[in-house]
Amino acid sequence: MKKALQPDYVSKFTCIASDCEDTCCRGWRITIDDESYGKYQELSRRDDLFSGKITRDGIMSVEGDFAEVILSENTCPFLNDKKLCRIQEAYGERYLSVTCGIFPRNYNLVNGKLELSLDLSCPHAARLALLDPLPMQLSLSDIKKDSRISKIPTIKSSDTDYPNQVYPYFEEGRAFVLALLQNRNYCFEDRLVILGRFCNDLNLKHDRPKDEMIQLIYEYTRLVTNFGFNQFIDSIPKQPASMLKTLMILLEYRLKTGVPGQRFSECIDQCKQGLHFTMEMSDHVLHETFATIKTGCYDPFMAQHEYIFENYFVNYCFKTLFPFGKQKSIYKKDIFVVPETMFTEYMLLTLHYALIKNLLVGMAGYYRDQFGTQQVLTLIQSFDKNIGHDAAYLQRLLQFFDENKIFNVACAAMLIKN
């Protein structure tokens, strides 16, 4: 057995396989590592199960992606009619690729200590992680050894190779972020606004000595405790729906440039119907419709269930090593037009929140009195699956906000609060 730091919900997770309302074998690329590819090539000499189902053509330059499965109608050809894997049925779990064998588990190695979280694009993982009203707790737990955990993101606080040299204060910085996200003395949106100020200051001062950066973290802790950001929060302009058309255009772009899952497409359609949304709709009518639905249908529910957003973003930050990110990007640098910084990581988090929130407001208008945790779970899980894993699309979102001069603390605050 090995030890891993993990949210407590992780220990409750087991794959429910054919009982799952979705499947991780449909709706996205399925990559194959080089070791698994070699095994499948060997097996293909005597078993036509693999014939014409795996290719090395057009593979993205991503570490660990040596080949990929050729999808059939956006579905893995190894998936049987019971939503089970034919490879695992025939040869056992050890023949699953790294991607398939580990999912939805996410591993990081921080200063030699293993960390484990779950990807919430898995419906059962999302249920366990999001629906607990108590603050998400992290603890050291026993996990099974898995030989596939060979190439995982690593952080060493003593490493000076990272371009912004943020890792000397990684643990103090992340501890503040997680504590802030779980500080229920503030509404959740206010916590995100304060987080933006923090990430921006970290970014501006990243090259200062470690002692200065630790002092900055302590000063933010003091200000949060004493409600020192209230004046800034109160100054954010109230412009409901001001960015809604832009966000809808960005979502439509995703639908047109990829093959979205049915669940996510249905959520977007429900949002549009709930808002009676069309691109020809006047800003005034959209403003009034959005505000009415938000006040009457969305806010009463979310006032009692803010912990869902809290749990989602605590898990997000723990999983992604926020706000510092991976020590080395697994993607080619030329894919990323917007520089990777701590504030870039924050803008990415903000876009996640803005898109999810506005979709949920529209869905609340669609479901009215029936709007509840099931609709929220469906949206967040399908969003994570269709948007959260699409690195190229997320980069285009960041590029759009950068090019339109709305890549700053003030605009992020307006996205969050409106």
* In the chain, where the domains are located: 25-102, 156-418
Q: Hey, which residues does 75 pair with through a beta bridge? A: 26, 72
Residue 404 pLDDT: 84
The amino acid at residue 406 is I
Instruction: Give the HSE-up count for residue 263: Cα atoms under 13 Å, Cβ half-sphere.
Output: 23
Q: Is the pLDDT of residue 329 over 50?
A: no
pLDDT at 9: 96
Question: pLDDT digits over 41-64, tens only?
Answer: 888 888 888 888 888 876 665 556
pLDDT of amino acid 275: 94
Neighbours of 218 (CB within 10 A): 12
Q: For residues 103-123, give the mean pLDDT.
A: 90
Return the pLDDT at 331: 41
pLDDT tens figures, 141-183: 888 777 666 656 666 666 655 555 567 888 899 999 999 999 9
**Mean pLDDT, residues 332-353:** 78
Q: Encoding tokens for residue 52?
A: 């014409």
**Interatomic CA distance for residues 269 and 263, integer angstroms:** 10
User: Lowest-pLDDT range, 89-98, 190-199, 336-345?
Assistant: 336-345
- Count of C-beta atoms within a 10 Å radius of residue 247: 18
Q: What is the dihedral of CA 167, 172, 174, 176, to 10 degrees?
A: -150
Specify the 3-state DSSP secondary structure of 341: coil
Q: Is the peptide bond before 323 cis (omega within 30 degrees of 0)?
A: yes
Q: What is the tens place of the pLDDT at every residue in 18-43? A: 888 888 888 777 888 888 888 988 88
Return d(Cα 418, Cα 406) in angstroms, integer.
Answer: 15
Which is more confident, 150 or 346?
Answer: 346
Quote the Cα angle for 47-103-320, to 5°: 145
